[in-house]
Each structure stands twice: as C-alpha cells, then as structure tokens.
Amino acid sequence: MNITDKITELKEQKNALILAHYYQRPEVQEIADYVGDSYYLSKVAKDSPNKMIIFCGVKFMAESAKILSPNKTVLLPASDAGCPMADMASSEPLAALKKQHPDAAVVCYINSTAEVKAECDVCVTSSNALSIIRKLPNKKIIFLPDKNLGEFIAKQIPEKEFILWNGFCITHKKVTPDSIKELKAIKKDALVLTHPECESAVRDLSDFIGSTGEIISYAKKSKASDFIIVTEQGVLHQLKKENPDKNFYVPGNTMTCINMKKTCLEDIYECLKYESNSIELDEELRLKALTSLENMHKYVG
C-alpha cells in the first residue's frame, strides 16, 4: 500500500477532513478534500461535520480554523510551518500603537497570529479588505501586518488615513520589477497577474492585482493564453489543472515559500496516525480573536 492509500484509509477510519492551501505541494493538493485560500478553508472546516481537521498550510491558518471551530481537533502536519509576515506583528507593540491612535479602527490581515487578531477590531482577507475598510465608520485605520497590501488599499481609499505596520511577505518581496520585465520581453502578450502582497513597483507593472483565488478566476475567464503569475508558485498546480490549454510563467526563481512547502505526504500520514501537532488556544484569547473574524462576516454580509 502506497502513502496515498494509507492516508486515504486513515482519513476514512478517523472521519478526518484534509484541507490544503493553494501554495502547498501538488501532491498535497491532490490528496486534499478541499483546496483554497486560508479563510475559505477555515470556513470549510467550521461548516463540515468532520471532528478532525488536517490543515495543510502554516500555523496562522490552522489557528484560524481552531478559532472558528473550538470543539474540533485541528492538526497541523508540519508543526514548524510558520509565516514570517505573521510573526512580524505582536500584541504588545500593537496595544501601544492603539493607545496612540484611540480613534483608529484596527484591521488585521488574516495572515496574523491569534494574539494579534485578539487585539483587532476586524480581520480581513486580500479579497475583501478593500470592501470592508470602505464600510468602516472610522476615518483612521491601523492596518497590519502587511504594509504592501495596506498601501494597495490606502491608494484606493484616499479619504482615510492609514497607519501601516512595517511587515511584509518574504516570498513576495523577493520578486523584482526587472524579473517581470525580462519575462515580458520574451512573452510579450502575457498578462501579469499579481498578488497585492507584492511591492508597489511590481504592482505597477500588473494587468490585474488580486488574491490567489481572484488570480485563478481571472485566468480562467480571460481569453488570453499566456500569463505571468506573480505569487507563490504553488498556485500553478490549480491554474494548469483548470486551464490545460493556457501557459503560466513565474518571474525568476524566487516565488517559493519554504514554509508552505514543508508539508509532505509523510507528515500528513504521521499526523493522522498519531493525531499529533494539535492546535490549542487559551479560551479567553480565542474568544477575543473570534470577534475580529465575526466582524469580518458582519461587514462582508
């Protein structure tokens, strides 16, 4: 019996649900019950009848699932899969910043720790951040941890004042305007689809800027055949799967998140077998963090 069959057998025995982020290895995406972005997967975990969730992603994602589903067992196969950007923000300096700007709404990107979410008024994703912040009554916004996503939103809402945390995604930061220009010189008709976590000089070269899910949707609907994908290259698996007649390219060789690639099939098998790497949260902290996620629903709805 190969590793895939072993995982499938264990999953059925334990009535477990396997979730994988778009940035995971192709073989991990293939064995998952659902593939998507972090918040979508957390909602799937919450709404599913399964009591055990295997979350193939990074820690903040599994934490979000646990915040929304406290009575479920949420397991993270690669226990050391973290998010450097999420770790760039912490609750104590945020609390100090809030005191300096008591009239500001505190908005956190979902790529943040449970401790940070607990200090925030509302949590957002890259796809709903613009819509939610526009609806907030506050004229001043503290946005963290990603300054690039914050800049992207701030430019579209000039009537509001943004105080941006100095955080960033180390993977998206690596891509340079020159690497896109070099690829564009070869593939002249290719459309550049970019994640807003990229820096402004990169975003300025883009034909479309959007979340991972929005990039996939745009490529699927577009009549173009060539695309330069400026986000973590794990998304190429879904893009190629849904668009076999289209061509996808990444700039340079920089678009790989080492943390997203830590999860292997062996990790999933071990995690299922031993029910290891369980995500546990203090209940007071979980409830505070839950408020920011519930407020996201309020404004999206």
Which domain CATH number covers 184?
3.40.50.10800
> Based on the domain organization, do 163 and 180 belong to the same domain?
no
> Based on the domain organization, do 160 and 180 belong to the same domain?
no
Instruction: Kindly state whether residue 255 falls inside one of the protein's structural domains.
Output: no
Strands (E), the chain: 16-21, 34-36, 52-56, 73-75, 105-109, 122-124, 140-144, 161-164, 191-194, 208-209, 226-230, 247-249
**Cross-strand pairs, 141:** 105, 162
> Based on the domain organization, do 68 and 215 belong to the same domain?
no
> Based on the domain organization, do 219 and 290 belong to the same domain?
no
> Based on the domain organization, do 25 and 55 belong to the same domain?
yes
CB-count exposure of residue 80 (10 Å: 0-12, 13-18, 19+): exposed
Instruction: Kindly state whether residue 58 falls inside one of the protein's structural domains.
Output: yes
pLDDT value of position 299: 82
> Based on the domain organization, do 94 and 136 belong to the same domain?
yes
Instruction: Kindly state whether residue 153 falls inside one of the protein's structural domains.
Output: yes
> Based on the domain organization, do 199 and 222 belong to the same domain?
yes
Q: Which positions of the chain have pLDDT values less than 50?
A: none
> Based on the domain organization, do 101 and 136 belong to the same domain?
yes
**Domain count of the fold of the chain:** 3
pLDDT value of position 38: 83
Instruction: Kindly state whether residue 33 falls inside one of the protein's structural domains.
Output: yes
pLDDT value of position 81: 97
pTM of the predicted model, to two decimals? Answer: 0.94
> Based on the domain organization, do 144 and 291 belong to the same domain?
yes
Provide the domain limits for residue 132.
85-169+285-300
Instruction: Kindly state whether residue 90 falls inside one of the protein's structural domains.
Output: yes
Q: Which CA distances in Å does 225 have to 74, 248, 291?
A: 40, 8, 43
The annotated binding site for [4Fe-4S] cluster is made up of: 83, 169, 257
> Based on the domain organization, do 89 and 165 belong to the same domain?
yes
CB-count exposure of residue 256 (10 Å: 0-12, 13-18, 19+): middle
pLDDT value of position 267: 97
The annotated binding site is made up of: 21, 38, 83, 109-111, 126, 169, 195-197, 212, 257
Instruction: Kindly state whether residue 187 falls inside one of the protein's structural domains.
Output: yes
pLDDT value of position 301: 64
The annotated binding site for iminosuccinate is made up of: 21, 38, 109-111, 126, 195-197, 212
Distance (Å, rounded) from C-alpha 38 to C-alpha 105?
Answer: 23
pLDDT value of position 1: 80
> Based on the domain organization, do 36 and 101 belong to the same domain?
no
Instruction: Kindly state whether residue 254 falls inside one of the protein's structural domains.
Output: no
Instruction: Kindly state whether residue 224 falls inside one of the protein's structural domains.
Output: yes
> Based on the domain organization, do 244 and 271 belong to the same domain?
no
